[in-house]
Structure 1
Amino acid sequence: MIYCGIDWAERHHDVALVDDTGQLLAKRRITDDAAGYKMLLDLLAEYGDTQDAPIPVAIETSRGLLVAVLRAGVRKIFAVNPMAAARYRDRHGTSRKKSDPGDALVLANILRTDMPMHRPLPADSDLARAVAVLARAQQDATWNRQQISNQVRSLLREYYPAALDAFAPWQNGLCRPAARELLKVAPTPARAAALTRSQIRSALKRAGRSRGIDAETDRIREVFQAQYAHQPQLVEDALGKQMLALLRQLEAACLAADELADAVEETFPQHPDADVILSFPGLGIQLAARVLAEIGDDRQRFADARGLKAYAGSAPVTRASGKKHHVARRMVKNDRLNHAGYLWAFSAITASEGAGTHYRRRRDRGDWHAAAQRHLFNRMIGQLYQCLKTSELFDEQRAFPSDLAVAA
């Protein structure tokens, strides 16, 4: 059997082929373009790569055009963590020398000796991978929007507390179009105090508000004209210019998050697993898309529900040595799926009577909030694994029979 290792770089890639005995059969340096990819495929075909017996490939990344070309067909691609590859490098020498061709050889030997210990990239459908791209991008855009919003809020606290008081009654205040329009018109407290009712009303209308404008106008004007401490005028004007620069970034982040959310809502319902995932309490389209993005639709990816729970970080880790026995939460996990699970369990507590009873029972047993919520997520993601496997919708009577009996 032949094994291939590829040391990935930005402009070129080093390729190494070894056989069962570890003998180096071939090595090449290919460019990161279509000609280089064709050279790689020709090299693999020269050494017996076919659709029926493809040569497995180890590489230190799971993304990019090179990986997309290699994934065509049934070839197994193993994305080896660079830290793990560095540990394997120490097995072949103590001098700590490093080279790109040498790393390619190390990756090929990883498959030769320990291929069963590494997981190949899942064989997800193109639609599932498209959902993953959009869901992760929307999640990143949401985090970026919140980060910039926190920066704006921190800056307003330094010189413009009236704006924070005016937007406090609004949920997610600084990210709302009305807040951004008002800050554009009045970037400093001095200009805010001089705003007329018609100016505030026009800003609210430009933001899309159509009801309760007069009452909201009076409330905002009253807050802007209240007594607050002020920075010196020159400092205040400079801070206002800084705030306007941050505001442009916030507007771009809000627009990106909204557009990606619309793309997710358009793409995710087309997936065959969408109905099953959405049947679970606490999951809307955006959160359900994030769950599908991380677990994929390859039914062979996880041998059982325990594997999925460990991957999500909901299953605890047991460390036992002699008389010592310690159970702790899992630190090595898929962080995106774990974050989605936190939001999922938090919403399910109120969306499902059985889930809420299960959570309260764990709290009564002495669990902290996070531990009880993690336990609920652990149970529900196991149920999701079974429902996806059998293509059945969520049934609360079967999912929480004892909890519903206690609630009744």
Structure 2
Amino acid sequence: MLLIGDDWAEDHHDVEVQDDTGRKLAAARLPEGVEGITRLHELVAKHGGEDFEAAEVVVGIETDRGPWVQALIASGYQVYAVNPKQAARFKERYGTSGAKSDKGDAHALADMVRIDRAQLRPIAGDSEQAQAVKVVARAHQTLIWERTRAFQRLRSALREYFPAALNAYADLSLTSTDALELLIKAPTPQAGAKLTRTQITAVLARHRRRCRDAKAATVQSALRQEHLGLPGPVTAAYAATVTAHARLMIALNEQIAELEGQVKAHFRAHPDAEIYLSMPSIGEITGARVLAEFGDDPTRYASAKARKNYAGTSPITRASGKSRSVQARYVRNNRLADALQTQAFSALNASRGARRYYDKQRARDVGYNPALRQLGNRLVGILHGCLKSRTPYDEATAWSHHAYTPAA
């Protein structure tokens, strides 16, 4: 068996090849791309011998995606995606000075897959369709997070010089494109006070707002209220800043809508989509995010408990001496945790079983978030059973062990 530590950078890879006793056989810096992967195969062939099989090559690398990783998997190598935090803790056994080098990192990764391979998770063999869902679902969610950051900066600036705009566009939502267009049209208190009802209604009509006349009257009234002001040059500077943020948010809105269509299309094309959509109130976007983060490798999760642990919905126990506590997991896949929280919240109104299970937790004096997390944990277990048996969600079957017994 050959153990390879691969410390990757943007344009090169530092690799170290060891045998199963830990003896260093080779070390090299390989370029990214076809040339680099070819040279890596040559190193494997040189030190593996004539009867060597690709399955006897184990690679540790601190990423689970990209053409290089896909090339390693396609070659039949066992590839382990090592969490950078795990690698950093592992390297502490070599010393506490904090010294770092690419060659040293490659050596540590080779040692790690040789010594602690049983504690690591091999890269899942997700299908091409699942990988496509993951790419677009993550990109869509990232753009939403970027819009939220841009909105917070926009809101902060408006509070400094134009708080009336926050009140004026509250009903429209300041993240909506029509409200942002009105803000660009009148980015200062003086310009806002001059907006006519006709101008406001025209923008609302272009975006198909209902009750346009009433909304336009509310916006105009709020913009014309008296308020404290700032000197002209300062107001102009804030107006330029707000206009830039508003234009950025409009562009983000357009791309979010475009990617939303892509997420739905790729998700619908996946063979597991029907099972995911059968879950209570999961929806296409949330379903795509859950599928993207779980993947579709049928061998990845040995049990429902393993899936729950990866999801971060199951609790962890901390015990030392006489002290013992059960706590929520905070080190987890945040994208998956966010999607599961959304699903659990929506399921409260769509599933009687989910509502009863949640109410049961609250009756035990469990707080709102812990109860919702426990419901999410239960839904993950149900999803695992549905995927394993290839059957859609069934309300009666899913909650048969948690149904209330009617009072006599």
Q: Given the two structures, how large is their TM-score scaled by the length of structure 2?
A: 0.93
Structure 1, residues 207-262: CA drift from partner, whole Å, max 9, x if none? x2264333332332222223333333332222211110111221122222222111
- Higher alpha-carbon deviation: 140-149 or 216-225: 216-225
Mapping of residues 9-48 of structure 1, within 5 Å: 9-48=9-48
Separation in 2 of the partners of 1:238 and 1:194? 20
1:239 aligns with 2:238: yes
Preserved CA contact (<8 Å) 1:4 1:57: yes
* TM-superposed deviation, 1:158: 2.0
**Equivalent residue number for residue 174 of structure 1:** 174
Tell me, in whole angstroms, the C-alpha distance in 2 between the residues paired with 1:368 and 1:97: 45
Q: Secondary structure at the match of 2:302?
A: coil
Query: Match for residue 141 of structure 1?
Result: 143
**Structure 1 residue 327 corresponds to structure 2 residue 326:** yes
1:158 matched to which residue of 2? 160
Does the CA contact (< 8 Å) of 1:51 and 1:73 recur in 2? no
Aligned mates of 1:274, 1:76 — CA distance in 2: 29
RMSD of aligned residue pairs (Cα, Å): 2.1
The answer for the alignment partner of 1:214 in structure 2 is: 213
Report the TM-score, using the length of structure 1 for normalisation. Answer: 0.93
Q: Which moved more, 1:113-122 or 1:271-280?
A: 113-122
Name the counterpart of 1:262: 261
Percent of matched pairs sharing the same residue: 43
1:137 & 1:332 partners in 2: Cα distance? 22
Provide, for residues 274-314 of structure 1, a one-character-per-residue CA deviation record: whole Å limited to 9, x for no partner. 11011111211111111011110011111111111111111
Point out where structure 2 has 5 or more consecutive residues left out of the alignment. Answer: none
Question: How far apart, in 2, do the equivalents of 1:9 and 1:343 lie?
Answer: 36
Alignment match, 1:67: 69
Q: Answer with 377-386 or 226-235: which moved more.
A: 226-235
Which residue does 1:249 correspond to in 2? 248
Which amino acid in 2 is paired with 1:328? Q
Alignment of 1:5-404 (within 5 A): 5-48=5-48, 53-92=55-94, 97-170=99-172, 173-206=173-206, 208-209=207-208, 211-401=210-400, 403-404=402-403
With over 3 angstroms needed to count, the CA separation of the structure-2 counterparts of 1:220 and 1:121, relative to structure 1, is same
CA distance in 2, matches of 1:345, 1:153: 30
Quick check: 1:20–1:112 contact (8 Å CA) kept in 2? yes
Residues 247 and 210 of structure 1, relative CA distance in 2, 3 Å threshold: closer
2: distance between equivalents of 1:221 and 1:373?
A: 41
C-alpha distance in structure 2 between counterparts of 1:146 and 1:134, whole Å:
19
Amino acid at match of 2:29: R
CA distance in 2, matches of 1:94, 1:213: 66
Gaps of 5+ in 1: none
Shift of 1:405: 4.1
**Letter aligned with residue 85 of structure 1:** A
Residues 406 and 240 (structure 1 numbering): CA distance in 2 closer, same or farther, change over 3 Å? Answer: farther
Distance 1:105 1:163, change over 3 A: same
C-alpha distance after superposition, 1:143-189 (max 9, x if no partner): 1111111221222222222222222223xx01112101211211112
Counterpart contact for 1:134–1:263, Cα < 8 Å: yes
Aligned residues: 405
**CA distance in 2 between partners of 1:174 and 1:95 (Å):** 50
